[in-house]
Amino acid sequence: MTMATLSAKPQDIDVDDVEYLRHGDKPLLARVHKPRGDGPFPALVECHGGGWCAQDRFTEKLRHQAMASNGIVSIALDFRSGKEAPYPASVQDINYAVRWAKLNARMLKTRPDLVGLSGQSSGGHQAMLVAMRPNDPRYTAIPLPAGSAAHDASVRCVVMSWPVINPFSRYRHAKRLVAAGNPPEWAKAAGPRQEDYWQSEANMAEGSPLLMLERGEKVQLPPAVWFQAHGDAMHDYKDVESDFPGNEPQRFVAAYRKAGGEIALEYFQGGQHPGSSPDLSQTGDMFERMVAFVGKHVKA
């Protein structure tokens, strides 16, 4: 086998919207950014942020374009919002999308063994959740078309941008800020969005990749990387209910490594505005570091 093609210099790309799934009369689209050339290329199934209840496949287009221009197929998903269908609906859509990408690998210029997951904020959480539980029967509830080859949702790697890795602690963190008075805008919005999507704190804890590891749940642990902006209080905070001495990024990394997984935590400067996620146009060399990570871990 030859190594997957991964270009070191920017290249031309093609962009298409493809229906990957349909619920009733509502299509779910993926915006596929493909490098030009024959491939096969590494591929990332991309999960947008938005507190599980907002945004779409266009939101993080700078990252999708950067990946494709550097030789990585970027498959940016729309999936069901928490305002229309609570947990685990969006996770089912994402799990299906990974299997769909493997089934349609030739059309996507990749191979089934070259597919990874990526996501930002709540999308980073969902990317890791799908990667850790690729065969959970709740998440695999949507079958591929009849007669299709069998594929599971296991992936070669996970790229996370400031994920909400512990929805349970983030919900309580936001609620404490609101109760203390004069809370940041993100904290006021976070509670209702999480309630819409998760329905209960018990679900938040059950679907928390961090707490899954601390409970000793048997999960898959693909190579992973967490990119985190300095000064991002929405995602880089201390859970005061935990005796772990560091913030949630360090806590997750420690738990992932303790369970036998390989993970890096990479901080960067720039792009941070109070109460919002980092600006993707001001994240320095983060995209280049993402490309290097994929190039290291997604090989034939």
Domain positions in the chain are 13-297
pTM: 0.95
User: What is the structure's pLDDT at 33?
Assistant: 98
Using alpha carbons, list the distances in angstroms from residue 246 to 125, 128, 258: 19, 21, 15
User: What is the structure's pLDDT at 10?
Assistant: 63
User: What is the structure's pLDDT at 2?
Assistant: 44
User: What is the structure's pLDDT at 275?
Assistant: 61
pLDDT-flagged residues of the chain (< 70): 1-10, 271-276, 300
Regarding the domain delimited by 13-297, which CATH topology (the fold level of the hierarchy) does it fall under? Answer: Rossmann fold (3.40.50)
The DSSP output letter for 246 is S
Instruction: Report the alpha-carbon distance of residue 282 to residue 292 in Å, rounded.
Output: 19
Provide the 3-class DSSP secondary structure of residue 12: coil
- The phi, psi pair for 270, rounded to 5°, reads 105, 150
Nearest to 89 by CA among 133, 138, 127, 123: 138
Provide the 3-class DSSP secondary structure of residue 60: coil
Helix axes 185-198, 167-180, angle to 10 degrees: 140
Looking at the chain, the number of H-run helices and the number of E-run strands are 10, 8
